[in-house]
Amino acid sequence: MELKYILTSKENGIETITFHRPEALNALNSELLDDLDAAVSDAALDPDVRVIVFTGEGKAFISGADINEMNNKKNLEIIDYSRKGAALFRRIETLPKPTIAAVNGYAFGGGLEFALCCDVILANEKASFALPEATLGIVPGFNGTQRLPKIIGLSKAKEMMFTGRRVKADEALAMGLVFKVFSLEDFQAEVIREAEMMASASASAISLIKSAVCAGADVSVDVGKDIELGYMTACFGTEDQIEGFTAFLEKRKPVFRR
């Protein structure tokens, strides 16, 4: 399928999905969401893809949902649009492969909400983050009201949502929103280095770890510990577990196939 607003490339088990709508600073319109859906579906099914990196072309990661497209929509149309994005974002959040948001510039509104669905957020020094919806008279509609407080805490999330102010990379790092910040020149290589570390670990173990984390996110520790027990037990006897243990005992690096 020909994609209009997404570029993809694959190297050494790492798929890079680049938002490519420069005329609107990669704003998310329905077509871009469809392209993203198609690219993610391909990457999810491709056994050669072990890690997915999302980034943006130019000075934006994603400048938000497309304000032109949302303008004049009626309530029910907006509900459909919000559900479409939210369902796709949730699918990405629960993909059985690791995802990295490599935030290269503006991550505003739906752009920040998208990044919140990725497993790790890395940023360059030019990255900035905001949920400016209140300044547009709307509510973050791709579930930022739900995810941001869980990541940075209620008070900081409310301050960001009430003011809509732009948070620069260093502050985002201090808040725990971003995992690491890199200089412009080191950014690409460091993102790949992080992705390579994930790609060299056991893909089957990572998928089970992710399932345990997702399934346990909203339950008590007592319920969560049994969820974890199930996934941990499932690893034993798998090809990767045997290879991982054997490699350790033979003092060599493991070679995982799955």
What lies within 8 Å, CB to CB, of 152 at 6+ separation is 160, 175, 176, 177
Q: Is 113 a catalytic residue?
A: yes
Q: Which of 113, 171, 194, 239 is catalytic?
A: 113
- Comparing CB distances to ligand CO8, the nearer of 35 and 194 is 35
Among residues 41, 80, 136, 170, the one that binds ligand CO8 under rule CB under 6 A: 136
Q: Distance between CA 34 and CA 227 in Å, rounded?
A: 33
- In degrees and rounded to multiples of 5, residue 154 shows phi and psi of -60, -50
Contact (Cβ atoms closer than 8 angstroms) between residue 177 and residue 151: yes
- In degrees and rounded to multiples of 5, residue 75 shows phi and psi of -50, -50
- CA 194 centroid distance within chain: 14
Told to check if 244 binds ligand CO8 by CB under 6 A, we report: no
Query: Binding pattern to ligand CO8, positions 39-78, x when CB under 6 A?
Result: ------------------------xxxxxx---------x
* Nearest approach, Cβ of residue 176 and ligand CO8 (Å): 22
Among residues 6, 17, 24, 107, the one that binds ligand CO8 under rule CB under 6 A: 24
Contact (Cβ atoms closer than 8 angstroms) between residue 111 and residue 172: no
Beta strand 14-19 pairing with 51-56:
parallel
* Nearest approach, Cβ of residue 190 and ligand CO8 (Å): 24
* Nearest approach, Cβ of residue 147 and ligand CO8 (Å): 12
Q: Distance between CA 109 and CA 114 in Å, rounded?
A: 9
Q: Which of 15, 133, 194, 228 is catalytic?
A: 133
Contact (Cβ atoms closer than 8 angstroms) between residue 106 and residue 76: no
Query: Binding pattern to ligand CO8, positions 95-134, x when CB under 6 A?
Result: -----------x-xxx---------------------xx-
Total residues binding ligand CO8 (CB under 6 A) = 23
- C-alpha distances in Å from residue 210, one per residue of 49, 132, 215: 16, 30, 8
Q: Is 159 a catalytic residue?
A: no
Minimal CB distance to ligand CO8: which residue? 109
Stretch that binds ligand CO8, among 9-17, 79-87, 155-163, 220-228 (CB under 6 A): 79-87
Looking at residue 28, the DSSP 8-state letter turns out to be: B
Rg (CA), the chain: 19
Report which residue type is found at 201.
Answer: A
- Comparing CB distances to ligand CO8, the nearer of 61 and 182 is 61
Q: Which residues make up the interface to ligand CO8 (CB under 6 A)? A: 24-25, 27, 63-68, 78, 81-82, 85, 106, 108-110, 132-133, 136, 140-142
Catalytic sites, residue numbers: 113, 133
